[in-house]
């Protein structure tokens, strides 16, 4: 039978968990309360399919920003997923445990570096490099994708390592006993068994890329136009909110909250997919 102290601790932790959910609920209500009037006024279809963003003239279309978000996020995944998964496989299967115990926390520290530092490095090093060697203004989708690809590495590597290490040792031993090589065992047995956790890491990395603001503001160019190539500048949904919220008023302010509504829906969908993948695991 539980004593009084255990009951108090249990109830306290339960209330703390409820308070976190309640705060998220309040944030969602506030965003939807401020943003949905403009969506109903303009029309959801016009809001998400038009690329004309002229708030002073009453034209609110975020299609170009949705495309910019998708381009940069896709580029970040193309860069981050192969590197992150390769690093996770190497650390889990080929590096001695003692060394891995040092390297894994070191990699996770990358997630603690402020995004403005990544953005500053991108402006000083990456943007001039792209401008001089590939052409264009340098501030581009490619620059944003590379920076975000680096920023999502700690998330993908850390969760993928945990998923790979959770695969029972008997799976590896059984595969090797049947004559498979070490790489065949990793490819055909370990990765398939850890697939759900790896997918969850990729989805969470995608959520990080979509929600990033400061680094993208500094390297992506922030042009409100439909990008035609990876060397064109682009503006994402998050950067649009950050750049214009300070001076927005009236319908303009509501349009920025409506942009947040669209972004909120996208991120919630990704979180639901991630939770489903984890539960399946």
pLDDT averaged over the chain? 86
H/E stretch holding 54 reads strand 53-54
Angle at alpha carbon of residue 131, lines to 125 and 133, rounded to 5°: 95
Mean pLDDT over 16-24 rounds to 85
- The matching CATH number, chosen from 1.10.3720.10, 3.40.50.300, 3.30.70.1560, 1.10.357.10, for 63-280 is 1.10.3720.10
Residue 278 has pLDDT above 70, yes or no: no
Mean pLDDT over 25-53 rounds to 87
Single pTM value for the model? 0.85
- Residues 141-175 pLDDT 10s: 999 999 999 999 999 998 999 899 888 888 888 88
Residues 6+ apart with CB under 8 A from 103: 91, 95
- Residues 107-120 pLDDT 10s: 888 888 888 999 99
Closest to 200 measured CA to CA, from 86, 87, 103, 280: 280
- Report how far residue 205's alpha carbon sits from residue 183's, in angstroms, rounded to the nearest whole number: 26
Report CA-CA distances (Å) from 110 to 45, 123, 154.
Answer: 40, 19, 6
Closest to 54 measured CA to CA, from 251, 264, 261, 234: 251
Could you write out the DSSP letters of every residue in 13-27?
HHHHHHHHHHHHHHH
Question: What confidence tier does 126 reach under pLDDT thresholds 50, 70, 90?
Answer: very high
Residues 6+ apart with CB under 8 A from 155: 84, 111, 201, 204, 205, 208
H/E stretch holding 59 reads strand 59-60
Q: How far apart are the first and last CA of the chain?
A: 33
H/E stretch holding 76 reads helix 63-93
């Amino acid at each position: 039978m539980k004593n009084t102290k255990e009951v108090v601790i249990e109830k306290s932790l339960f209330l703390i968990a409820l308070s976190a959910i309640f705060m998220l609920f309040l944030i969602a209500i506030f965003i939807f309360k401020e943003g949905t009037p403009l969506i109903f006024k303009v029309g959801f279809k016009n809001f998400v399919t038009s690329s004309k963003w002229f708030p002073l003239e009453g034209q609110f279309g975020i299609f170009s920003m949705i495309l910019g978000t998708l381009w940069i996020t896709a580029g970040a995944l193309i860069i981050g997923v192969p590197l992150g998964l390769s690093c996770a496989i190497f650390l889990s299967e080929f590096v001695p445990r003692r060394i891995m115990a040092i390297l894994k926390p070191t990699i996770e520290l990358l997630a603690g570096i402020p995004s403005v530092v990544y953005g500053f490095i991108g402006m000083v090093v990456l943007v001039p490099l792209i401008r001089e060697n590939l052409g264009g203004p340098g501030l581009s989708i490619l620059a944003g994708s590379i920076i975000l690809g680096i920023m999502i590495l700690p998330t993908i590597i850390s969760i993928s390592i945990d998923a790979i290490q959770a695969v029972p040792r008997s799976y590896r031993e059984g595969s090797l006993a049947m004559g498979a090589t070490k790489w065949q065992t990793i490819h055909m047995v370990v990765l398939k068994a850890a697939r759900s956790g790896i997918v969850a890491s990729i989805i969470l990395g995608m959520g990080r890329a979509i929600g990033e603001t400061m680094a993208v503001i500094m390297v992506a160019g922030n042009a409100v136009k439909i990008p035609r190539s990876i060397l064109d500048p682009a503006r994402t949904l998050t950067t649009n909110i950050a750049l214009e919220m300070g001076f927005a008023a009236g319908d303009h302010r509501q349009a920025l909250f409506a942009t947040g509504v669209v972004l909120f829906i996208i991120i919630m969908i990704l979180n639901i997919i991630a939770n489903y993948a984890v539960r399946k695991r």
